[in-house]
Amino acid sequence: MKAITLKIVRKETVSGFFAKFGIIVVALVIFVTFSLLTNNFLTIDNVFNIFKQVAIVAIIAIGMTFVFLIGGMDLSAGSNVLLGAVVTGALITSGVMDAFPAMIVAIVLCAITGLINGFFIEVLHINSVIATLGSQLAIRGLALVIISNYNQWIWMNKDPLLKHINVGKVLGIPVIFIIVIALYLLAYIILTKTSYGKQVYAVGGNEKAAKLCGLNTVRIKVFCYCICGITAGIAGIIAACRLGMVNTNVGTGMEFDAVTAVVLGGASLKGGEANVFKTFTGAIIVGMIANFMTLYGVGPNYKSAVTGAFILLASIINRMTQNETV
């Protein structure tokens, strides 16, 4: 009897360790491997570059983490990114408002689309994959309708705030870094130190029990989709600043990168198991792979191929260490 308990304890500790730190180990391994394989990888400039490229997906991944926590998926995130970028650009270019208020309006709009997603999924009980595949069309359509008034292309250099976000530095650290880190900290605080965050983990962990604890599970879940909309909007604004302009390709496919980051971070599709730092590590891995392939001169399409393969690998590893369906 004692022998059996010892075996179980050891297995739990090992897989527990893997579940907690596995992803960081993987990230480090990749980092070291890539550094050894090519000279240009380990330069300060390159590392900064990785962070800058990863920033946008990393921000979307925050919202996606919330959605995964309650057992859903938001495949309309990429279109929301486009919407955020387009609305900001349109408002600034048409002179209706300054940069900052324009950004607020864009974010609010994206929050509303997130709420609508939440409504279809949690109130009408439409499967999250299908519902967000549908809303993806509608949101993209809306964004495209707006941008068609500007000939498919909005120039974003008018306002100095935009330039500051793109290349500005505060105390030597690029503004984009600060934004990403700030958002992650905020998400961490919300998830671990606020009542809402703990309720999200409860609903994701055992929805029946959460309801029997008196929690309003519908409201909690809908708000997660709202958060996803908000982060997508913010990511859209930053993408626009980085590019210096907005065209119809902004945000395409970004929902998949975000999902990759979250899954690499060990999240379970059933909910209740996700963690913003692991998601961040996942995003970094995605970024490192993309960067490495660019350095190696590999085309962007192969990046998708590798990303997809990585999701599979990550889920297999998750499956092995957790003995649950991921």
Partner 1 sequence: MELVLEMKMISKRFPGVQALTDVNLKLYAGEIHSIIGQNGAGKSTLMKILSGNYRHDEGTIFMHGQEVVINNTAEAAKLGIGIVYQELSLLNNLTVAENIFLGREVVNGIRINNKKMRELAHQYLLELGIENIDVDQKVEVFPLAKKQLIEIAKVISAKPQIMILDEPTAALTNEDTERLFNILRKLKEQGIALVFISHRLGEIKKYCDCGSIMMNGRVTANVRMQDVTEIEIIEHMLGDSFNSFHRAEKHSIKHIEPVVKLSDLYIKDQLNHVSCEIYPGEITGFTGLLGAGQDVLWRVVYGAMQAQSGDIFINGKRVKIDHPTKAVKLGIGLLTENRKEEGLFEQLSVVDNISIPSLNEFKMAKLLPYLNIKKILRESKELTDSLFVKMRNIHTKVKFLSGGNQQKVIVSRWLMHNMDILVFLEPTRGVDVGAKTEIYKILENLAKSGKTIVIVSTDTTEILELSDRIFVMKDGKITHELNERPDEETLLCMIQGKGDVA
Partner 2 sequence: MKQKRSVPLFMISNLNVVSTISLTIALVCVFVSRNNQFLSLGNIFNLIQQNAALIVVAVGMTFVVISGNMDLSSGSLIVLTACITGIIYSETGNIWISLFACVLASTFIGMINGLLIAYLRINAVIVTLSCMIWARGLALGITGASSISIPSKLLSAIYRPFAFGFINISVCIVLFVLVLGWFLLTQTKFGRYTKAIGESEKATDLAGINTKMIKWIIFTLAAFLTGIASVVDLARLGSAVTTIGANMEMNAIVAVVIGGNRLSGGEGSFSKTITGLMFMCVLSNGLSTLAVTDDKLYLIKGIIILGALAVQMVCNIYRINYLKRFNEN
Which 140-179 positions form the footprint of partner 2 (CB under 8 A)?
140-145, 147-148
Compare residues 133 and 186 and give the one whose CB is closer to partner 1.
Answer: 186
Which 270-309 positions form the footprint of partner 2 (CB under 8 A)?
299, 301-309
Under a CB-based contact definition with an 8 Å cutoff, are residues 138 and 148 in contact? no
Least distance CB 153 / partner 1 (angstroms): 42
Environment class of residue 4 by beta-carbon count within 10 Å: exposed (0-12), middle (13-18) or buried (19+)?
exposed
User: Which partner, partner 1, partner 2, none, binds residue 269 by CB below 5 to 8 Å per kind?
Assistant: partner 2
Our measurement of the distance from residue 158's CA atom to the centroid of its chain's CA atoms, rounded to an integer in Å, reads 28
User: Which partner, partner 2, partner 1, none, binds residue 195 by CB below 5 to 8 Å per kind?
Assistant: partner 1
Our measurement of the distance from residue 85's CA atom to the centroid of its chain's CA atoms, rounded to an integer in Å, reads 16
Which 230-269 positions form the footprint of partner 2 (CB under 8 A)?
256, 259-260, 263, 269
Antiparallel, parallel or unpaired: β 245-247 and 153-155: antiparallel
Compare residues 125 and 193 and give the one whose CB is closer to partner 2.
Answer: 125
Least distance CB 133 / partner 2 (angstroms): 5
Which 40-99 positions form the footprint of partner 2 (CB under 8 A)?
73
The residues, ordered by sequence, that sit 6+ positions from 47 with a Cβ below 8 Å of its Cβ are none
Please report whether residue 130 would count as binding partner 2 according to CB under 8 A: yes
Please report whether residue 208 would count as binding partner 2 according to CB under 8 A: no
User: Which partner, partner 2, partner 1, none, binds residue 80 by CB below 5 to 8 Å per kind?
Assistant: none
The residues, ordered by sequence, that sit 6+ positions from 236 with a Cβ below 8 Å of its Cβ are 80, 81, 82, 83, 84, 85, 86, 88, 106, 110, 250, 251
User: Which partner, partner 1, partner 2, none, binds residue 17 by CB below 5 to 8 Å per kind?
Assistant: none
Which residue has 């010892």 as its token pair?
6
Taking every pair of Cα atoms in the chain, the longest distance, rounded to a whole number of angstroms, is 76
User: Which partner, partner 1, partner 2, none, binds residue 199 by CB below 5 to 8 Å per kind?
Assistant: partner 1
The residues, ordered by sequence, that sit 6+ positions from 201 with a Cβ below 8 Å of its Cβ are 69, 191, 272
Binding site for partner 2 (CB under 8 A): 73, 120, 124-127, 129-131, 133-145, 147-148, 256, 259-260, 263, 269, 299, 301-312, 315-316, 319, 325-326
